[in-house]
Structure 1
């Protein structure tokens, strides 16, 4: 009696599988509604083999098409097969075609990562997209904060908090969105002792989560209320930073203590520092949380100057100079694009082309679709406010090679031309002054020699 068996073809399969029954390939099998349909009289011991082809497929989230995961077997949105390369002989893939093409983006089966921290979903960004510009800005903001740091404490880290003389009442810690935090329940507080820098501006630098919008609490410096903080929804769904300047009298009148540290050579050293106690106190509700690293920073740098400007093709009107802000780059008419390289004197400053924030650590390709292309660069200092503008006009123009005999060629005088009148570029005759001078010199030398010989003859006659 015939019986029908149905085998579902999974959605990840790029095509129908190879089918064998008792080791014999079956080519023309029936597929209905996503199922392989096999109808025949079956006997005990019959073996059915289905060999499904597998390829890497990219899947994105329903609410964010730029956040993706890669799936191999049971989803670059283009050319994913070329960009996710399988390691020979291993179930392992390396992602290519990104700004991290050094082998660090390696993908292995989920079950192998039980001892490691791992990522499943990744956000794909393209140059000049809002998310890419945001990532550049965040990296610059983080870098400038580290550079300007006077002192800091890693929040919710016992070792660092104890070194900062942490004091708490009704305070808790945790991790949210990959960042550690400390908060306070009603009626509580927490505080840290942190170094300040006399003679300079000092600022509190705290990181909050925008989702805690509306939470209100007080911040004290050495028991003096500095500000009532209200968390703002500056960056919906993400973190934001807030700074508050410490009044200069609190800095100058701060206390002194001796700290023991390890220098760059690994030696234990002591130094005397000025410090204040910063306290986050409840006003009846939650405090914070305060995330990641809490800092005291000083002023950011205010130098917007470029440090270098160069192109991979063409001739720049003049070498880069700090005082020059306008340049002309001449390239052959067949040039379709040039690569521009820039660097800033303030490492954590910003560079814009028009309104687009660019990555100044990578070459920037500029398409040349017309005979003249104007590139306007706006640079900003580390404070991300002080700015300067540079203009580069890129002109397509072939340089004409001069042929021998060209009218513009500089004439070279030969021996036969001596003594002839010289003409100016306008065709006017110039006085033959140079030739006359040489004639006078020749005549003078001749007279000198003749006189010497005459004198010699006269003397010889007298002596005879």
Structure 2
């Protein structure tokens, strides 16, 4: 065990009472968050804890008046919200001390009541256990009991963290006492783990248990709390990441990020002897930014890190879980405090604006779970009392600490990291400063000194990464030009100040384009620190369930154009001329395109302010009919047909998916070739097996669909539906270098009267089952409809005889505008062997009086029909 030492820090944060945000937009969302917190009923958040202290299981107990969503009786995450609530309220206590005395008193009284209740519940326990579900759930994780489970240590992390934060921010000693007894309980349980059991427990999401126990130890100095924290340090993962190996592919993102926040806290707590953990945290941060991060600073697809660098191929409606950004900001903040490295401050600003500020509805105060990077989706916000997602809880915290990372100091120097209108009172130095800015509308920032000591103060202003290329920040002091020293990315102003001094900085800004590594034609735009997005309408903004949360959708019939056709020779040339191709409207934060097919139509504005409509951040830039353009259409339609055909789907080895779908058996999971898999070995028939429960549609033809790997050729196993043998499968070497998909048709009479089936895989002989890769889906038939709905020529519907269409243009015209629409949305339409976008009007240059086009429509299932369109130049009747 490491020797004890003082916490390692280069930078110090200011007490939240010393910094007040005055930006109108930020103040408004803080008020929304405060009002929401104060609207919640403490007793309803405590109901599960009270029931457990009385020997009841909230899952079955009646009359508890639990909240809904993830706090409901069905949920095994019940209680996590109270932890977030405690932290958010403790931060709110600090925020309101000077500005909202009545709210501050109410917050303090509420926290006192909640902590007092928790203490009384805990006193009924012999071992210090305090939770909103019975302790047996921790036994299940250890394999000492059986039953349903989710992630109990994850929830325990929230509770301990919340209690410690109440103590740190309000001085409530009972909060530390209750947290300390929970720390003792954690020690008593974890000290019995051998390495095998530790590995088993840590294979299930446990949040930042290491982090909260290190934080607890710093406040209790109880060696048992330190020992318990060490039990949650996943050294094998830290070693791999620290050595530069990106082993994150397909891992649950928000399971991993808090582990590294905890690793960093070990270093902060115990000092230089633990530099192994600092290195792991640095490497992890670098990998996530390099390989997994979108322009907004967010990451993940369906809560997972995907193949490094594969970002365009995973853009959809379930990107950028909000909790991920919440935790990445924690990591960046602490790395900055330790190293002083500006890269962490740069990331913090980006994700703070474009993920966190972007993630709240300014009218309701509700927050997002996902932030889609797929073009055409929208931000979907939770509800006040019936969501309580993980991201609802972290959202409570986000907006009560908007002031905690604007300024830092190292004991002598003041660091200005963010340009947000605010006030700083550095009482220890007798120095007060007011910042006033309207970035990004202009690059002007004014700092006014309120009071100053007789000695010099060295202010270090961060020189942001987004400054216009080839230009410098200009600074004046009391209207006189000042030429600062630039050191480690900061502009230094070191002098004796006096009250009333004004420091004015002007940051030149410009539009910049960012491209995705796996598709350099997928482009997004920023202006200064803000990501830009274009509004794409409000038609049918319908949500759908996504496990225990929800997601935005694009219903059939909603037409989204996710590409922009450029008039330059290449995408490189268009981007090189971005200053002239995305132009700001004078005096407004609004930008329109030039030299494209969308000139002056799409309006790009700051994405963090968008919350009422569909949007596009990334668009594919291409020349019309280029191979890339056609491939994009095909990929988009193929993805849509899979989504529309899906009745139910399991993400293999996703613990939430597999819990909901009742995974049974004796299998194991892993990751290979960019996909997660599940397999099992048996020495005799049926010894190795696993099964899932999946929904079906008894009125449709149902198929089981999954992927196999050709490298597993020869493995032989059975696939059962409700204990009836469906197929004897042997994996084939169909594609020796990769994967292939299979679909098994389920006999219709097997599904009569059912809405759900059990799909079971079991081995034959001495063989493995699977691997079953990526997803296991129940699909309905792909459509065989290759018919055309209509062809419009220059605004008029073409005539049709059998499969031949005819249309007319005015004789004097040398072009015709055509619109070809298939009956089925996802059918592919080819004109003269070129795949076209059937959602768009296509201009055809006519070189003769009569031209005939060959049209081919390919249905979802590959059915093909051929048509012709003859366009005649004539004087119309």
Query: 2:845 is matched with which residue: 354, 357, 367?
Result: 367
Are positions 1:229 and 2:731 aligned together?
Answer: yes
Shift in Å at residue 95 of structure 1? Answer: 8.1
What corresponds to 2:777 in structure 1?
A: 294
C-alpha spacing 1:306/1:43, structure 2 compared with 1 (3 Å): closer
Q: Aligned residue for 1:383?
A: 861
Give a deviation string over 1:384-411, Cα, whole Å, max 9, x none: 2x22222222233457x9xxxxxxxxxx
1:430-459 deviations in whole A, cap 9, x for unaligned? xxxxxxxxxxxxxxxxxxxxxxxxxxxxxx
Quote the offset at 1:377 in angstroms.
0.9
- Is contact 1:203–1:297 with CA below 8 Å preserved after alignment? yes
Instruction: Answer 1 or 2: higher relative contact order, Cα 8 Å, separation at least 6.
Output: 1
Matches of 2:606 and 2:797, distance apart in 1: 42
- Give the 3 Å change call, closer, same or farther, for CA 81–148 of structure 1 in structure 2: same
Return the alpha-carbon distance in structure 2 between the equivalents of residues 343 and 183 of structure 1: 42
Equivalent position to 2:513, from 58, 63, 67: 58
Report the TM-score, using the length of structure 1 for normalisation.
0.54
Higher radius of gyration, 1 or 2: 1
Name stretches of at least 5 consecutive residues in structure 2 with no aligned partner. Answer: 1-462, 484-493, 530-571, 683-687
Residue 378 of structure 1 deviates from its aligned partner by 0.8
CA distance in 2, matches of 1:182, 1:84: 47
User: After superposition, where does 1:424-463 map in structure 2 within 5 Å?
Assistant: none
Provide the secondary structure at the position in 1 that maps to 2:839: coil
Greater helix percent: which structure? 2
Query: 5+ residue gaps in structure 1?
Result: 1-7, 30-41, 113-117, 260-272, 402-464
User: Partner of 1:251 in structure 2?
Assistant: 747
Kept in 2, the 8 Å contact 1:254–1:276? The answer is no
Residue 93 of structure 1 and its aligned partner are, at CA, apart by 6.9
Give the aligned partner of residue 692 of structure 2.
192
**Residues 236-385 of structure 1: matches in 2 within 5 Å?**
242-246=741-745, 251=747, 254=750, 258-259=754-755, 275=757, 277-279=759-761, 283-284=767-768, 287-291=771-775, 294-298=777-781, 300-313=782-795, 316=798, 319-321=799-801, 323-327=802-806, 329-384=807-862
Distance, in Å, in 2 between the alignment partners of 1:306 and 1:336 is 26
Partner of 1:404: none
Separation of aligned partners in 2, 1:9 and 1:141: 41
Cα distance in 2, alignment partners of residues 326 and 10 from structure 1: 56
CA distance in 2, matches of 1:163, 1:170: 17
1:207-263 C-alpha deviation (Å, 9 max, x unpaired): 57xxx6624454513345432235866998xxx7723344xxx7267376655xxxx
TM-score (norm 2): 0.32
Q: Hey, what's the Cα distance between the residues in 2 that align with 1:129 and 1:289?
A: 33
Q: Given the superposition, is the C-alpha separation of residues 337 and 193 from structure 1 closer, same or farther in structure 2, using an over 3 Å criterion?
A: same
Q: 1:294 to 1:199 in 2, by over 3 A?
A: closer
Q: How does 1:140-155 map onto structure 2 within 5 Å?
A: 140-148=637-645, 151-155=647-651
- Aligned equivalent of 1:205, options 694, 705, 721: 705
Residue pairs, 1:22-171, within 5 angstroms:
23-24=479-480, 51-60=506-515, 64-73=519-528, 77=575, 78-79=577-578, 82-83=581-582, 106-108=606-608, 123-148=620-645, 151-155=647-651, 161=658, 164-171=661-668
Counterparts in 2 of 1:152 and 1:170: CA distance versus 1, 3 Å = same
- Secondary structure (helix, strand or coil) at the match of 1:302 reads coil
Residue of structure 2 equivalent to 1:440? none
Tell me, what secondary structure is at the counterpart of 2:825? coil
Do the aligned partners of residues 256 and 194 (structure 1) sit closer, same or farther apart at CA in structure 2, a change above 3 Å counting? farther
Matched residue, 1:220: 719
Deviations 1:182-216 (A, max 9, x none): 523555543234577889865332257xxx66244
Higher strand share: 1
Residue by residue over 1:305-364, the C-alpha shift from the partner in whole angstroms, topping out at 9 and shown as x without a partner, is: 212111225795xx335x24142x332343243221222233332211122222222322
Q: Compute the RMSD of aligned alpha carbons.
A: 5.3
